[in-house]
Amino acid sequence: MGVRMSGTIAHLEGDWTLSGVAENIDSMVLSLNQMESKGEKKFLINCEKIEDADTSGLQLLNVWVECARLRGIEPKLVHVTDGMLRAINELGFCHLFSDVYTDMPC
């Protein structure tokens, strides 16, 4: 699991399951601090390199999205993988991501 920033795009990578979530919480906080300090109001969250996602990973992603909003930053999910969409639907998390991913098939 990882978060790599490139300008106003956060690239999420790897394992977003229980075994991977704790590894990069610090990088998620740092990325929000970086966006806020630059005065950015919007950023994209590129999900194309997420290998696997479960309840823990999706909950962490939701908390990160909400923290961004509390800082006045509007996040948008892009390139969401079929596996991630399947996990979101199977876990009943559509309502958590439908406003940050316009193509959510819920």
Which pTM value belongs to this model?
A: 0.90
Q: Cβ(79)–Cβ(47) under 8 Å?
A: yes
Per-residue pLDDT of the chain in tens (106 residues, 90 and over written 9): 688 999 899 999 988 988 887 777 888 888 888 888 888 899 999 999 998 899 999 999 999 999 999 999 999 999 999 989 999 999 999 999 998 988 887 7
Domain spans of the chain, in order of start = 2-97
Nearest residue to 10 via CA among 103, 98, 85, 76: 76
Q: How far apart are CA 100 and CA 78, in angstroms?
A: 9
> Which CATH code is given to the segment(s) 2-97?
3.30.750.24
Reading the block at residue 43, the tokens are: 């950023």
